[in-house]
């Protein structure tokens, strides 16, 4: 028998990330460049913004570091209520959308760092100074392979709190969407990250929350095209697979006010800690 300390959680994280299709895709800026509209469309129909905003301990004079800010899901609503936001985002497409939205909302308190978190330098005169951001947040953007260095750097950047939002388990969409279409291994979820933090001496808190995605489509064809676009570049949905997708959608979409609705019930883990002296 192995004790929990003897398990190399960080190595497991790296291996599982390498083996999962999400791990192979999500760390590549070009993957996100092609999906800005699609991603925003999905996020707008989820409760992500409200769920995260209701959980953060924020004050108007705070500064926030948002790692993997994407199109600004959290950075934009945060910039409206705090002193300043620093957005780290390596995908030029996502960053352009974030800047566009900030400009539309007349938000001049966002600083942009067009880099991967691994390449962000901390220190005097560098990208960011240590301990200067009250909150450090990473929402659905933990795809870094060297996860221990990633966490220690987040802790170093923070003045008060670090918040991570990551998937917990697989969720249910009628008969599982995942089981029907994804053949590869699922990506590692929050439980690995929690144990890695423990091994770093960071005893984090965990809240498990419901994160619901409700996709609305005018008709079945629009739904099929949405998922073909979603899978583009990493999964072949031609021929009989497209037919399988159509059958799955026609069995799981429900009619509501003249539209077709696909409900996905997922769980999100909020892992958070007060800055630790580690
Ligand atoms: C799923 S999106 C999440 C966007 C936003 N945080 C949200 O919750 O809606 C993941 C984002 O992380 C970014 N990303 C991927 N690898 C990254 C890395 N190594 N460092 C920082 N950001 C990264 C991607 O470019 C993408 O915009």
Distance 69 CA to ligand 1 centre (A): 6
Give alpha helix (H) positions in the chain.
9-19, 21-25, 29-33, 36-44, 48-53, 75-79, 92-104, 147-157, 177-181, 190-199, 220-231, 240-252
The alpha carbon of 145 and the centre of ligand 1 are apart by a number of angstroms equal to 14
Mean pLDDT within 46-53: 92
Which protein residues are within 6 Å of ligand 1, measured from CB? 26-27, 29, 32, 43, 48, 67-70, 73-74, 88-91, 94, 116-118, 139-141, 143-144
Question: Residue 233: its pLDDT value, please?
Answer: 75
Averaged pLDDT, 7-21:
94
Where residue 125 falls (left for φ over 0; alpha for ψ -120 to 50; beta otherwise) is left
Residue range 195-221, pLDDT digits in tens? 999 999 999 999 999 887 788 899 999
Residue nearest to atom 11 of ligand 1 (CA): 68
* DSSP tag of 106: T
Closest Cα to atom 23 of ligand 1: 68
pLDDT of residue 230: 82
Instruction: Select the more confidently predicted residue: 277 or 261.
Output: 261
Q: What is the pLDDT of residue 176?
A: 59
Which residue has its alpha carbon closest to ligand 1 atom 26? 70
pLDDT of amino acid 177: 63
* 147 C-alpha to ligand 1 centroid (Å): 15
Q: How far apart are the first and last CA of the chain?
A: 29
251 alpha carbon – ligand 1 mean position (Å): 32
| Nearest-angstrom CA–CA distance, 6 and 243 | 47
Instruction: With 0.85 as the threshold, say if the pTM is over it.
Output: yes
Among candidate residues 157, 184, 193, 182, the one with its CA nearest the CA of residue 272? 193
The confidence score (pLDDT) of residue 146 equals 98
Among the ranges given (14-23, 71-80, 193-202, 240-249), the one the predictor scored with the smallest mean pLDDT = 240-249
Residue 89 alpha carbon to ligand 1 centre in Å:
7
pLDDT band, very low/low/confident/very high, at 174 (cuts 50, 70, 90): very low
Looking at residues 247-269, what average pLDDT do you find?
88
Nearest partner of 19 among 142, 186, 158, judged by Cα: 186
Q: What is the mean pLDDT of residues 140-150?
A: 98
From 55-64, 79-88, 155-164, 237-246, the region with the lowest mean pLDDT: 237-246
Q: Is residue 175's pLDDT more than 60?
A: no
CATH superfamily of 4-212+265-274: Vaccinia Virus protein VP39 (3.40.50.150)
Residue 271, pLDDT score: 98
Whose C-alpha lies nearest to ligand 1, atom 12? 68
Q: Can you name the residues that pair with 133 across neighbouring β-strands?
A: 158
If one residue of 50, 67, 70, 110 were mutated to test the ligand 1 pocket, choosing by the most ligand atoms within 8 A of its CB, it would be 70
> What's the mean pLDDT in 106-119?
98
Q: What is the pLDDT of residue 184?
A: 66
Q: Ligand 1: which residue has its CA nearest to atom 10?
A: 141
Distance 141 CA to ligand 1 centre (A): 4
Rounded to the nearest angstrom, the distance between the alpha carbon of 59 and the centre of ligand 1 is: 25
């Amino acid at each position: 028998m192995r004790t929990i300390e003897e398990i190399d959680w960080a190595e497991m994280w790296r291996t599982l990330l390498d083996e999962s299709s999400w791990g192979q895709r999500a760390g590549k800026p070009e993957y996100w460049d092609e999906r800005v509209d699609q991603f925003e469309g999905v996020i707008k129909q989820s409760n992500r913004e409200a769920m995260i905003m209701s959980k953060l301990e924020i004050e108007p004079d705070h500064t926030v570091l948002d790692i993997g800010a994407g199109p600004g899901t959290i950075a934009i609503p945060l910039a409206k209520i705090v002193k300043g936001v620093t957005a780290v985002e390596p995908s030029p497409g996502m960053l352009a959308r974030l800047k566009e939205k900030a400009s539309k909302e007349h938000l001049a308190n966002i600083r942009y760092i067009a880099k991967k978190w691994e390449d962000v330098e901390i220190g005097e005169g560098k990208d960011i100074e240590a301990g200067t951001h009250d909150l450090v947040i990473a929402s659905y953007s933990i795809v870094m392979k060297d996860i221990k260095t990633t966490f220690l750097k987040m802790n170093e950047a923070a003045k008060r709190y670090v918040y991570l939002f990551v998937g917990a388990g697989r969720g249910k969409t009628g008969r599982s969407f995942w089981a029907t279409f994804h053949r590869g291994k699922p990506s590692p979820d929050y439980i690995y990250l929690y144990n890695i933090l423990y091994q770093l001496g960071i005893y984090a808190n965990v809240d498990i929350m419901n994160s619901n995605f409700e996709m609305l489509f005018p008709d079945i064809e629009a739904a099929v095209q949405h998922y073909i676009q979603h899978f583009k570049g990493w999964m072949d949905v031609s021929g009989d697979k497209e037919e399988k997708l159509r059958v799955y959608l026609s069995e799981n979409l429900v009619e509501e006010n003249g539209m077709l609705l696909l409900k996905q019930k997922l769980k999100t883990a909020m892992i958070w800690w007060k800055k630790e002296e580690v």
